[in-house]
Structure 1
Amino acid sequence: MSEPSTATPEVRLQQLREAIDETDNALLNLLYQRKQLAAEVGVVKRAMGQPLYVPEREAKLLEARREEAEKIGLSPDLIEDVLRRIIRESYHQQQAADVHLEQRTIVVVGGDGALGRLFVERFREAGATVYSLDQGDWHRAEEYCHAADLVLVSVPIAATEEVIANLPTLPEQCILADVTSVKQKPLQAMLAQHNGPVVGLHPMFGPQVATLAKQLIVIAEGRQPEAYQWLLDTLARWGAQLYTTTAARHDEAMGFIQVMRHLSTFVYGAHLAEERADLQQLLDLSSPIYRLELMMVGRLFAQNADLYADIILAHPENFAMLRRYLKTFDEYLAALEAGDKSRFVEKFAEVSSYFGEFSQKFLEDSQRLLASAGDAHQLSQVAGR
């Protein structure tokens, strides 16, 4: 039995802080050891041709650690948050050394653009010979494309069909693909331009991502899927999650996922500007969820206006849907103006039933996001002092 401490509270506090510092250093050493092990796992995976991200393995690992954490009195959510951040860093580390395309020649049309540049870098890291074909060197199109295994079109939506139509004749085995946010018209243009394998891709992420692990890429099938399988295998090997659908279904879904959200966000931001709302005050008074919503609005206006305009304009048929959205907005605004609370509550229950089990899942998922957003906000406030 240890004797009771006779140290003053101040001395004891300093002792405890020093012990915490030592524990943190031990954690750093353990994290370094894990990093080394993860790097070795990456080497073995590449030798076996296995994908960077295996959802089943990650889910099993996290579940096991959550159970162990609970047994020893630690928060399972805390352990999962820490491990997810560590795993994400491991994916980035493993991807950078994945060389498996040494025999491939790839042309990225629009490789100087933000998204095009991302793919240029990834393909070069994988060992491929990569040419970036842009407006200034279009006279070299035939030279670059004559022996290409893949021509990837990454240009603004409004220019995509014209650029595809102006491509030189491609080798029979060459894959022609695009990474445009709309799929029907670009896919039709590629099928008309090239008799070989054709596939439409839509990366559901921006060029700022550090790794493709866990990033969604939508696949719109075109022609000769067996011939473009090596490209899909490469994307999966980098950890991307692939979702295959038709071009028509893709574009229909994007009407809700992109078009409606982008225009709604634009109008929200435009209204804040017209009202001259004090953004700093809104941030100071917001809970994490409203702060996150405001951040998503501001994020839009830090990006390319032409891109968002092109996404909205690419499918005029969505305007009818957007008019219905405005009608619904106006209908329930009028009800609330008239003090008709019951109509709002009844509709709320109806929509809640429509969302069903997704509501609870979305609530739980958003709580994790909000916890991270809250931590980031506190850190930024401390840093700004």
Structure 2
Amino acid sequence: MNEKTTAELENLRGLIDGVDQQLLHLLRKRLDLVAQVGAVKHGAGLPIYAPQREAKMLAKRRAEAQAMDVAPQLIEDILRRLMRESYLNEKDVGFKQVKTDLGHVVIVGGEGKLGGLFSQMLTLSGYEVKSLDKDDWLNSQTIFDGAGLVIVTVPINITCELIASKLTQLPSNCILADLTSIKTAPVEAMLAAHSGPVLGLHPMFGPDVGSLAKQVVVVCHGRGESEYQWLIEQIKIWGARIVEAEPEKHDKAMQLVQAMRHFSSFVYGLNLYKEEADIESLLQFSSPIYRLELAMVGRLFAQSPELYADIIFAQEESLVAISDYLDNYSQALQILKSGNREAFVKQFEEVAQWFGDFAPQFQRESRAMLQSVNDMKTG
């Protein structure tokens, strides 16, 4: 570049830096306003996440962006990221306490990550929370005395045994709940062990979410719904979306959503290991969608093998789902080996028709994710 071009670029970049600084000040101002909103919501007991308000605001900003010749998706992307930050900030203000006369809460397994998250959320809502872990059972009677809610969050393979052997002498009006990722056996175990209110919960997220805004919590009713309705309302105030399901229906879905998906990722990672794949090289040649897929596989192996063994081995019925997947994979492989391109296209079209309107919907959603993945590249 010649000196004139260099000077022009430096001048323009300086102006851009100035605009960026203005943006920072505006962001700070917006976050301060959000903190005030959080305080008002806290006082009124309103949910942290208001989907109708969010949708209306995004639609209005998109229209305004269009009128200013700014890409509507750009302003939506910016606002969604801002809202995620806002939810994190609103959470720190605290939440209204729905049940003020509860007594204290006991989290069995409270030192675990998910137990720690629920302990934090309940504490932010004004409840007294006590943790009961493996070294505390000698003092368990004292810890349980006066408890209004006991939440079990321990490894799946010991959940039912622990409930049956350790939780049979709770106060009669105490709510007994669990956070296990399967529901039929734990709910049955709680109903058998405890005569009071029983509730099965499955948070469909990990402990690193930061905020429960827009997260899903599955509710499986056990006994005494009117006695624990306040807890469901409390979770809604945290911003979560409640999905009610029968335990059996939930567990059937988890065979596909969790067990088969995690097992498939495990095998994919195992295959990369067996093939001695050079991950650094794969990343250099990867498209955004493959990078995202590889990230999802890598994410699995960055976490506890015991956790995923619990999920995959939790239901014997998962073996059927995984075996069916293997059969379908083998049949598709036979089509490939036979060189029957027409058969492949025919099956592809059948599956596409089965997906229906979800296919283009998922295409739009994945396009946004892939653009974000591509934006994160540094080299």
Q: TM-score, normalised by structure 1?
A: 0.94
Give how far 1:64 is off. 0.8
Counterpart CA distance in 2 for 1:327 and 1:159 is: 32
Supply the AA of the counterpart residue of 2:144: C
**2:180 maps to which residue?**
180
Identity across matched positions, percent: 47
Alignment of structure 1 residues 187-336 onto 2, 5 Å: 187-336=187-336
Aligned pair partner of 2:47 in 29, 44, 51 = 51
Counterpart CA distance in 1 for 2:192 and 2:232 is: 22
Counterpart CA distance in 1 for 2:321 and 2:84 is: 38
**2:127 maps to which residue?**
128
SS in 2 for 1:325: helix
Q: Contact 1:142–1:168 (CA<8 Å) still a contact in 2?
A: no
**2:93 maps to which residue?**
97
Give how far 1:259 is off. 0.9
**Corresponding pairs, count:** 373
Give how far 1:377 is off. 2.2
Give how far 1:99 is off. 4.2
Counterpart CA distance in 2 for 1:282 and 1:85 is: 29
Structure number with higher relative contact order (C-alpha < 8 Å, ≥ 6 residues apart): 2
**1:109 maps to which residue?**
108
Q: Contact 1:141–1:168 (CA<8 Å) still a contact in 2?
A: no
Q: What is the RMSD computed on CA atoms of the aligned residues?
A: 1.3
Q: Per-residue displacement from partner, 1:310-329 (whole Å, max 9, x unpaired)?
A: 21222112212222211111
Q: Contact 2:45–2:95 (CA<8 Å) still a contact in 1?
A: no
Counterpart CA distance in 2 for 1:16 and 1:292 is: 35
Aligned pair partner of 1:42 in 38, 62, 67 = 38
Q: Contact 1:262–1:308 (CA<8 Å) still a contact in 2?
A: yes
SS in 2 for 1:23: helix
Unpaired runs of 5+ residues, structure 2, are none
Q: Contact 1:213–1:239 (CA<8 Å) still a contact in 2?
A: yes
**2:160 maps to which residue?**
161
Give how far 1:288 is off. 0.6
Counterpart CA distance in 2 for 1:79 and 1:346 is: 41
Give how far 1:172 is off. 2.4
Q: Contact 1:266–1:300 (CA<8 Å) still a contact in 2?
A: yes
Counterpart CA distance in 2 for 1:180 and 1:168 is: 19
**1:79 maps to which residue?**
75
Counterpart CA distance in 2 for 1:254 and 1:20 is: 49
Q: Per-residue displacement from partner, 1:247-274 (whole Å, max 9, x unpaired)?
A: 0100000111011101111111111111
Counterpart CA distance in 2 for 1:236 and 1:334 is: 49
**1:4 maps to which residue?**
none
Supply the AA of the counterpart residue of 1:130: V
Q: Contact 2:35–2:93 (CA<8 Å) still a contact in 1?
A: no
Is 1:30 aligned to 2:26, yes or no?
yes
Supply the AA of the counterpart residue of 1:138: W
Is 1:19 aligned to 2:9, yes or no?
no
For residues 137 and 370 of structure 1, do their structure 2 counterparts lie closer, same or farther at Cα, with a shift above 3 Å needed?
same
Counterpart CA distance in 2 for 1:310 and 1:11 is: 62
Q: Contact 2:106–2:151 (CA<8 Å) still a contact in 1?
A: yes
Counterpart CA distance in 2 for 1:229 and 1:275 is: 52
Q: Per-residue displacement from partner, 1:209-261 (whole Å, max 9, x unpaired)?
A: 11111111111111111111111111110101110010010000011101110
Give how far 1:113 is off. 0.9
Q: Per-residue displacement from partner, 1:126-171 (whole Å, max 9, x unpaired)?
A: 2211111000111121111111111000000001011112125222
Counterpart CA distance in 1 for 2:4 and 2:107 is: 68
Supply the AA of the counterpart residue of 1:215: Q
Which stretch of structure 1 is more off in the superposition, 14-23 or 249-258? 14-23
**1:146 maps to which residue?**
145
Q: Contact 1:289–1:370 (CA<8 Å) still a contact in 2?
A: yes
Counterpart CA distance in 1 for 2:342 and 2:187 is: 48
Counterpart CA distance in 2 for 1:230 and 1:325 is: 41
SS in 1 for 2:46: coil
Give how far 1:103 is off. 4.8
Q: Contact 1:161–1:189 (CA<8 Å) still a contact in 2?
A: yes
Which stretch of structure 1 is more off in the superposition, 96-105 or 75-84? 96-105
Q: Per-residue displacement from partner, 1:64-90 (whole Å, max 9, x unpaired)?
A: 111111110111111111101111111
Give how far 1:175 is off. 1.1
Counterpart CA distance in 1 for 2:12 and 2:354 is: 53
For residues 214 and 223 of structure 1, do their structure 2 counterparts lie closer, same or farther at Cα, with a shift above 3 Å needed?
same
Q: TM-score, normalised by structure 2?
A: 0.96
SS in 1 for 2:376: helix
Q: Per-residue displacement from partner, 1:269-326 (whole Å, max 9, x unpaired)?
A: 1111111111111111110100000111111111111221121222112212222211
Counterpart CA distance in 2 for 1:294 and 1:243 is: 30
**2:62 maps to which residue?**
66
Counterpart CA distance in 1 for 2:19 and 2:112 is: 46
